[in-house]
Amino acid sequence: MTSLLEVQDLHTDIRLRAETVRAVDGVTFSIGLGETLGLVGESGCGKTITGMSIMRLLPPGGHITSGSVHLQGRDLADLDEEAMRKVRGNDVAMVFQDPMTSLNPVMTIGQQIAETVRAHKRATKQAAMERAKEVLGLVGMPRPAERLHDYPHQLSGGLRQRTVVAMALACEPKLIIADEPTTALDVTIQAQILELLGSLTTRLSMGMLLVSHNMGVIAGQADRVMVMYAGQIVESGPTGEVFSRPRHPYTEALLRSVPRMDHDKEQSLHAIPGMPPDLAHPPAGCRFAQRCPYAAARCREEEPVLGGDEHLYACFYPRHTAVAEQPVVQVSTARVPAARTAAKPGPLLELRGVTKEFPVSAGFVRRKEGTVKAVSDVSLTVAAGETFGLVGESGCGKTTIGRIAVALEKPGAGEVVFDGTDLATADRADVRRARRDLQLMFQDPYASLDPRMSVGSILREPLDIQSIGDRGSRKARVAELLDAVGLPARAIERRPHEFSGGQRQRIGLARALALNPRMIVADEPVSALDVSIQAQVLNLMRDLQDSLGLTYVVISHDLSVIRYMADRIGVMYLGKLMEIGSSADVYDRPAHPYTAGLIQAIPVPDPDRERAKPAASVRGELPSAIEPPSGCRFRTRCPLATERCAEEEPAMTDFAQGHRAACHFPLQAPVAATAN
């Protein structure tokens, strides 16, 4: 394969006020024309800085200290800034993780794409806009000529990501660096974007560096994979070989941490203990030794060298058998859900015909122009002591249901009955009392924690508001909460920004537990976390549920997480409940085409299975919730839809005990049909 990019012994430092972080420490790799190289590892291991080093877009204080970055023979590390500006966007382009922050909110997407073309190709304004329309069509943007005049906020997450990809392709670059390009996307849109990137790389003979912490994404897209830890490459090789027979214990641990569809739900997830080291003060020897179950004295004294033939690894005691054949060193003991068996029978929470709409206004006088139909006639129950999972794409009404369940939103119609009290009609005093038993665990712990307050103050605040106990008992309760979520007592004086993402999520969970609630609604609790930290948080939530008798409503677009956590599952689409049933029924015997499409789109960390998947059955974008489709709301994206689906809304039908779905052409035979 013809070499496109050659990176040799790259070192990148970031100078801070008091110390220097060795973010990239001696990295060497290559990318060929038409090849996709995957780069995986936990947050803080240097993946993004590696990509930024190639682009020479390092943060303040960052600079390449040594090494070379040759793009078709030209060393980018030696170019001055003026020469490098001609390379960025022209020869090398980047697809960023969050398209909303990388797009200019006051420029149309057509103007932003055309701007790149005019800067590098000296094209006229008209020719640049024509090129913008062309590349929008290339990335599958519906009605590209019309979309040229849209602003970023007018597009869905999937369409914004397509726009960012179109910008990267506008000048026909030789290399694309895709930094977590699908992390914030639903599985259906994620599948479409990844399929798009893969096909474009092949068709246009580009090289791609795909940065991700999602092992399933890498399994399906990368020709070769590099595993990065603490600024260094610890393993690399052909994707199939690395995934099936990892040699480095870190690679093995990452693969074991992924929630799999066939994981025994009564066994804890395998989690990597501890955290990656501080790269301002890296440890001697192997940097993974402190977390490695196989480490010996030599590992803590001597640094292993990356070596081998096609499959490289840096380990003194490499693994020699396939993942499926290796014993799990960290014993995953069976969970004994004593709290569940002792829980009070019957529903703790009931939603009956719940509807919620939000007005849409425009103009100087804020004239009402319509309503967003966020939740439309949803009914479900959550039993005491169980975990109810709520899944669906962004914009389907999941978070609104969660906020209604904890009385942060009032429904427009219907009943929200918690332990016999209808929160929809209860007075403020009754709702406030109920909120002691109802808590919300937010998706973004950093945004939901006051940056000016210490952790101790954050955890004590609910106790102060509810006037629970005296000063001494509140202090003791804070210490108890920190211990329950596995944080040290000294964390009490620190502020949120001093913690990692996983630690902040533990703080958010501790705050939700402060008032000894009976039910916690966890809204995307691990969506932004690395797979290893995700496993730690999920195990913690399950352990606390068993010891405290908690009831969970877990909201997520990650169906692997819901499969592990939930006893029963509800599938939502555009404000409607499409399917509901036990975890086994919904995943193993889905009745609704939408549910089946979501499950099919889940990336699995197995290259053979991932690449053997058929084309995604759920295509396109979510319709507007202001004007949802008539009849079945899923019909515009359903491969089985007929005219009947447009004219008649399907009713909920029974497929097994507690398993119901609303579809005219279900994938399973209804109970009534079986009986006949």
Separation of alpha carbons 463 and 478, rounded Å: 9
pLDDT of residue 198: 86
Name 208's bridge partners. Answer: 36, 176
How long, in residues, is the chain? 676
Structure tokens at 522: 């966890």
| Strands, sheet with 307-308, edge to edge from the N-terminal-most edge strand | 92-95, 175-179, 207-211, 36-40, 224-229, 232-238, 312-313, 307-308
Tokens linked to 339:
């709290």
Distance between CA atoms of 259 and 546, rounded to whole angstroms? 20
What CA–CA distance (Å, rounded) separates 283 from 301?
Answer: 9
Burial of 642 (0-12, 13-18, 19+ CB in 10 A): exposed
Burial class (CB in 10 A: 0-12, 13-18, 19+), 288: buried
Amino acid at 590: P
Pairing state of beta strands 224-229 and 207-211? unpaired
Low-confidence ranges of the chain (pLDDT < 70): 1, 184, 321-345, 362-368, 500, 528, 672-676
Closest by CA to 165, choosing from 124, 119, 206, is 206
What is the 8-class DSSP label of residue 283? P
Q: Distance between CA 618 and CA 593 in Å, rounded?
A: 8
- Report the candidate in 91, 243, 288, 265 with the shortest Cα–Cα distance to residue 610: 243
Question: By percentage, how much of the chain surpasses pLDDT 70?
Answer: 94
Show the tokens assigned to 310.
């096609």
Task: Report residue 562: phi and psi, to 5°.
Answer: -65, -35
Q: How far is CA 231 from CA 14, 50, 426, in A?
A: 12, 9, 55
Q: How far is it, in rounded angstroms, from Cα 127 to Cα 125?
A: 6
Measured distance CA(218)–CA(194) in Å, rounded? 10
**Residues near 328 by Cβ (< 8 Å), separated by ≥ 6?**
256, 270
Q: In angstroms, rounded to a whole number, what is the distance separating the alpha carbons of residues 128 and 124?
A: 6
Residue 447 CB partners (closer than 8 Å, separation 6+):
none
Long-range contacts of range 189-192, CB-CB < 8 Å, 24 or more positions apart?
Answer: 189/156, 189/157, 189/158, 189/161, 189/393, 189/621, 190/217, 190/601, 190/603, 191/601, 191/603, 191/616, 192/140, 192/158, 192/616, 192/619
CA 575 vs CA 375, 628, 653: distances in Å? 4, 9, 18
What residue spans define the domains of the chain?
Answer: 3-243, 340-437+515-673
CB 528 within 8 A of CB 444: yes
List, in sequence order, every beta strand (DSSP E) within 344-451.
Answer: 347-362, 367-383, 387-391, 413-418, 421-422, 438-441
Q: What one-character DSSP code corresponds to residue 154?
A: G
In this structure, are residues 294 and 62 in contact, taking their beta carbons and an 8 Å threshold?
A: no
Tokens 């939901």, residue? Answer: 448
Dig out the tokens for 541 from the structure: 């939530």
CATH number of 3-243: 3.40.50.300
Q: What is the DSSP string of 565-611?
A: H-SEEEEEETTEEEEEEEHHHHHHS--SHHHHHHHHT---S-HHHHH
Q: What is the pLDDT of residue 331?
A: 34
Which helix H or strand E contains 236, and what residues bound it? strand 232-238
Give the domain 340-437+515-673 fold.
Rossmann fold (3.40.50)
The reported pTM is 0.84
Question: What pLDDT is stored for residue 349 in this prediction?
Answer: 97
C-alpha span between 601 and 225 (Å, rounded): 21
Q: Would you state the pLDDT for residue 158?
A: 73
pLDDT at 336: 40
Beta strands in 55-116 (DSSP E): 62-71, 74-75, 92-95
Q: Which two tokens stand for residue 376?
A: 């439309």
Closest CA to 505 of 179, 128, 43: 43
CB-based contacts of 620, cutoff 8 Å, min separation 6 = 142, 636, 637
